[in-house]
Amino acid sequence: MSDSRKGPRGVWAVGGGKGGTGKTLIASNMAICLAKRGHRVLLVDADVGGANLHTCLGIERPRYTLGTFFQEHQSDLSGFMEETGVANLFLVSGTQDYPVRGPKVRDMNRLRNALKRVQVDYVILDIGSGSAQTTMELFLMAGLGVYVIVPEPTSIENTYRFLKEALYWTLVRGTRKRSVKSALSRAFHVGRIEDFQPVPEMLRQLSRTEPLVSRILRAHLENFQVRLVLNQVRRYEDVEVGFSVRSAIHKYFGLRVDYSGYINFDERVIQCVRSRQSLLQSFPDSNASKCIENLTQRLLSQGQLAFDFF
């Protein structure tokens, strides 16, 4: 559809602090949706240790994996891309066979560079759960972080923890000054909730002693783009949870995130996983499929869910 010689137009990471929230479902179906619109799409299973994206797409034994990409010190992803049965959609499978300690810093750097050059329109990274450093690095590698929540206290609690870590790493990576790093560490890891300063305020205080670093970090903060997606919506009130979380993030962190969409709970999702087929292909007219299409559209157009959604 477009000239992809310059590298992808968008790299989206799909993550979420808690397991079982539907990251893989959303990543794979968004990718199919983009491919159906005529974009060349690469799905990367970056769930280190819990890879199963290939299964969701009905591929039994992936030929190449991200593990091999890391192990063989490759710098080009194109040799690891596999066709998927959906036109325009390619897959780099996960790291089933990779040593448990996970990828190293230089592996990450190679992946980051490879993603910039890969010959597709969009890359979607399916990230594992938790907020370990590797997960965080992968999430932050993308230009856009799609964060999946479900309307449950545990998921939301993890969201704030994840965001805090993600913000911390975003800023810490932006400077080499030890004094600034330790100041950030102190600012982020406070004991009492009322002592936590919103991030813009942290940077304002930093600018008194380190004006230049503060400016650089502010730029890093602006590149930190998060889109909330609410999965497993069963009731009308559930949709509101996304607005609540967005509001709380703004008032607590001083950070603006978008609420890009929600996905209705659908029994057929489970059917799809069991039969190793994608939702968008098996049940294109299902409610959940429509939700994913709307979500993809909003991500492309940078729109948000409006208050008059129902």
Partner 1 sequence: MIELSSLNPYETLDVDPRATVAEIKRAFQIALKTYGPGHMATAGLFTEQQREEILSRVHEAYNILMDPERRGHWDEILRQKGLYPLEAEQQVRLPAPDVGSTTPPRPRPVETHLQEDPKLREERDQRVRELLAAAEQRREWSGSLLRQVREVRSLTLDDIAQKTKIGRGHLRSIEEDSYEFLPPDVYVKGFVTQIAKVLGLDAGSLAPRIMEHIRRSRGPR
Nearer to partner 1, 100 or 306 (CB): 306
Quote the least distance from Cβ 131 to partner 1, whole Å: 16
How would you class 268 by CB atoms within 10 Å of its CB: exposed for 0-12, middle for 13-18, buried for 19 or more? middle
Structure tokens at 22: 């539907």
Beta strand 82-83 with 89-92 is antiparallel
Nearer to partner 1, 26 or 241 (CB): 241
Nearer to partner 1, 186 or 250 (CB): 250
Nearer to partner 1, 64 or 243 (CB): 243
Quote the least distance from Cβ 20 to partner 1, whole Å: 17
Quote the least distance from Cβ 306 to partner 1, whole Å: 7
Residues in contact with partner 1 by the rule CB under 8 A:
151-153, 156-157, 160, 193-194, 196, 198, 201, 240-241, 243-248, 250-252, 254, 306-310
Quote the least distance from Cβ 246 to partner 1, whole Å: 7
Quote the least distance from Cβ 250 to partner 1, whole Å: 7
How would you class 100 by CB atoms within 10 Å of its CB: exposed for 0-12, middle for 13-18, buried for 19 or more? exposed
| Separation CA 143–CA 141 (nearest Å) | 7
Beta strand 122-127 with 10-15 is parallel
The residues, ordered by sequence, that sit 6+ positions from 243 with a Cβ below 8 Å of its Cβ are 259, 305, 307
Nearer to partner 1, 76 or 152 (CB): 152
Classify 296 in phi/psi space as left (phi over 0), alpha (psi -120 to 50) or beta. alpha
Quote the least distance from Cβ 100 to partner 1, whole Å: 32
Quote the least distance from Cβ 297 to partner 1, whole Å: 9
| Separation CA 227–CA 255 (nearest Å) | 12
Nearer to partner 1, 179 or 247 (CB): 247
Quote the least distance from Cβ 228 to partner 1, whole Å: 11
Query: Is residue 175 helix, strand or coil?
Result: coil
CB of 231 closer than 8 Å to CB of 259: no
At 14, which helix (H) or strand (E)? strand 10-15
Nearer to partner 1, 189 or 251 (CB): 251
Nearer to partner 1, 168 or 309 (CB): 309
Closest to 158 (Cα-Cα) out of 8, 308, 15: 15
Residue 119 main-chain phi, psi, to 5 deg = -85, 65
